[in-house]
Amino acid sequence: MSTSWNRRSFTLALAGALAAGVPVLPASAQTVPSGKVTVELFGLVTNGFDPVIEAFQKDYPNITVKWTKFGTDEFKQALRVGAASGKMPDLWFNWGGSLAYPYSRAGLTLDLTGRIQDLKLDQTLVPTAIVLAQDRGKLYGVPNRIVPMTIVYRKEMFEKAGVKVPNTFAELEEACAKLKAAGITPFSLGGKFSWMTMRFTDFFMEHYAGPKLHDQIKAMEASWDQDAVVKSFAKLKEWNDKGWFNQGFLNVDPATNMQLVYQGKAAMVLEVPSIEVTRLKRENIDPSTYGTFLMPTDQTPRRVSGFQQQLQVSAKAPKDVQDAALLFATYVVRPDLAAKHMASIGGPSAARGVVPGADSPLQAQYATWLQEGLQLFLPGDQALPQEMVAAYFEAQDSVILGAMTPAEAAKSVQQAITGFKARQQ
């Protein structure tokens, strides 16, 4: 398998790979350090690595993983402070895209491109995971999880409003209108931090621009000052004005978005599949009373927004520490263990052939779609450089507030991009 996947192709040829079954493949090709080694690992409190580390240290008693957990913003900051002060950890969690490349481009991340074959990553991981993790065609980490966005809806609300699961964009709008007429807010979202609103803007852009143009827009290769972007902003405004989002959502904490659904005031959320575990089950909700469907983009292929999560090794760490760190990174997705690890790190796994159990119907449904070849595109906040993300968010929220027209918003983002590109030279 080639390592030069186009970042934009994002082809997911999972079905065949999964049908072939789980390859039995221990990490024997890797160097296991012989002496005592301590690996410092940074990640999120939500990563769920604790049981994985415990098992790892049992299997490799000479390696100690010093695990430090952070909240999301604190984590981003800890990496920045680490980079600025020359004190990066040996191994760290990361998302992809613009959240990861400042570190690889500063030469802080170990380049694994040449080792894909010898680590057998091409055989053990789903291709999409690797594609999403790449920066300029090079791989700087071992992905362990794919996180797609999906609509999760409460079945009871759909029944109450006489709504069927929509399969086209028009049907989705029809469903929203019906729900609204029945006194139910179609979507509950938390717009504080802007990324939850962005999921909708991204979706509209995919709908209006289609996969190819959408990717070019997000890669800043095509201008934002164009019809598809303007239409997307306009649609966002329209949905807002029709009351299809919860009242005052712009500054609502994303963590509080489920309550309205529980209380029967809203019907749907645009969320990651793991809310099944982090929210529903924890809050004593039977996940089978909820359903999920793909965002109807009316485009072929029908893609949803999503990203991968990976572990990156420090390029500055001593050789034996690097070996140990890499050993752990691959251990998380080792074919014989990945299914077990997914229970704590969350699904869907980046390892091939791992499907959640039937007690997690939403996640299982999603894994099936992924197996059937579902394709993903990077969400705006990873596709764009962080500074441009700010311009995107500001434009989007300004449209909702009525402070900018959709056309002005599209122009303002393009203006920021032009300035950014000029500064890069």
Partner 1 sequence: MSLVVAGRDSGSAVLPHAGRAAIPRIAFYVGLSLFALVWIAPVFILVFTALKSASDFAHGGTFALPERIEWANFAKAWDVGIRTYFANSALMTLVKVPAGVLIAAMAAFALTFLRLPGSRALFTFFIVGLVVPIQMTLVPLTLLLRNLDLIDSLFGLFWLYLGFGLPFAIMVMRGYMRSIPRELVEAALIDGCSWFGVFRRIVLPLSTPAVVSLLIFDGIATWNEFILAQIFLRQNSNRTLPLGLVNFQTEFSTAYELLAAAQCITIVPLVVVYLFFQRYFVDGLSGSIKS
Partner 2 sequence: MSLGGADTAAATPAAGRGGSNPLRTEWRIGALFLAPALLLYVTIIIYPLIYSSWLSLFEWDGISPTRRFVGLDNYATLWSQNRVFWIALKNSALWTAVALVVPTSIGLGLALLLNRSFAGRGFYRGLFYFPAILSLSLCGLIWTWIYHPTLGFLNQFLGWVGLESLHRAWLSEPSIALFAVMVAAGWHNTGLPMLLYLAGLQTIPREVLEAAEVDGATAFQRFRHVTWPMLKDTTFVVLAITFINSLKVYDVVYVMTFGGPANQTQVLGTWMYFLTYNFNRIGLGTAIAVVLFGLTLIFAIPYTRKLGQES
Among 398, 407, 408, 418, indicate the residue that binds partner 2 (CB under 8 A): 398
- Contact between 84 and partner 2 per CB under 8 A: yes
Q: How far is the CB of 50 from partner 1 (least distance, A)?
A: 11
What is 184-197 written as a DSSP string? -EEE----TTSHHH
DSSP string over 61-80: TTEEEEEEEE-HHHHHHHHH
Q: x/- binding map, residues 98-117, to partner 2, per CB under 8 A?
A: ----xx-xx-x---------
**DSSP code for 42:** E
**Residue found by looking up tokens 């059937």 in the block:** 372
Nearer to partner 2, 196 or 367 (CB): 196
| DSSP classification of residue 348 | S
2 touches, from partner 2, partner 1, none (C-beta below 5 to 8 Å by class): none
Nearer to partner 2, 221 or 253 (CB): 253
List, edge to edge, every strand of the sheet that includes 266-271: 185-187, 266-271, 150-154, 290-293
Tell me how far, at minimum, the Cβ of 42 lies from partner 1, in Å: 8
Q: Is 285 in the site for partner 2 (CB under 8 A)?
A: no
Q: How far is the CB of 223 from partner 2 (least distance, A)?
A: 20
| Pair type for strands 63-70 and 37-44 | parallel
Question: Which one among 249, 307, 331, 392 touches partner 2, defined by CB under 8 A?
Answer: 249
First CA to last CA distance, the chain: 36
Candidates 304, 270, 297, 269; CA nearest to 170 is: 297
From partner 1, partner 2, none, which one binds at residue 320 (CB under 5 to 8 Å depending on kind)? Answer: none
Rule CB under 8 A: say whether 251 interacts with partner 2: yes
Comparing CB distances to partner 2, the nearer of 195 and 293 is 195
Q: Looking at beta carbons only, is 103 or 224 nearer to partner 2?
A: 103
Q: Which of 68, 259, 288, 289 binds partner 2 (CB under 8 A)?
A: 259
Q: What is the b/e burial string over 321-347, where b = at least 16 CB atoms within 10 angstroms of the residue's CB?
A: bbbbbbbbbbbbbbbebbbebbebbbb
Kindly report the backbone phi and psi dihedral angles of residue 222, in degrees, each rounded to the nearest multiple of 5, phi listed first.
-100, 150
Q: Does 423 bind partner 2 (CB under 8 A)?
A: yes
> Which one, 66 or 105, has the nearer CB to partner 2?
105
Q: Judged by CB under 8 A, which stretch of 3-11, 76-84, 139-147, 173-181 contacts partner 2? A: 76-84
Quickly list DSSP for 81-95: HHHHTT---SEEEE-
**Is 55 or 99 the residue whose CB approaches partner 2 more closely?**
99
Q: Are 404 and 391 in contact (CB under 8 A)?
A: no
Which CB atom, from 105 or from 282, has the smaller least distance to partner 1?
A: 282
- Determine the residue type at 101: Y
Cα(111)–Cα(190) distance, rounded to whole angstroms?
37
E-strand ranges in 245-336 read 266-271, 290-293, 303-313
- Binding residue (CB under 8 A) for partner 2 from 115, 138, 160, 265: 265
Supply 216's token pair: 């070019």
Q: Which listed option, partner 1, partner 2, none, makes contact with residue 419 (CB within 5 to 8 Å by class)? A: partner 2
Q: Is residue 118 classed exposed, middle or buried when 0-12, 13-18 and 19+ CB atoms within 10 A define those classes?
A: exposed
Return the one option of partner 2, partner 1, none that residue 344 interacts with (CB less than 5 to 8 A, by type). none
Of partner 2, partner 1, none, which one sits near residue 192, judging by CB under 5 to 8 A according to partner kind?
A: partner 2
Determine the Cα–Cα distance for residues 364 and 356; give it in Å rounded to an integer.
Answer: 5
Token representation of residue 407: 């056309």
Residues in the site for partner 1, rule: CB under 8 A?
A: 42, 44-46, 66, 68-72, 74, 77-78, 81, 84-87, 255-256, 258-259, 262-263, 278-279, 282-284
Residue 243 phi, psi dihedral angles, 5° rounding = 75, 30
What character string, x for contact with partner 2 (CB under 8 A) and - otherwise, covers 122-161? ----------------------------------------
Positions that interact with partner 2 (CB under 8 A): 76-77, 80, 83-84, 102-103, 105-106, 108, 191-194, 246-253, 256, 259-260, 265, 386-387, 390, 393-394, 396-398, 400-401, 403, 419, 423
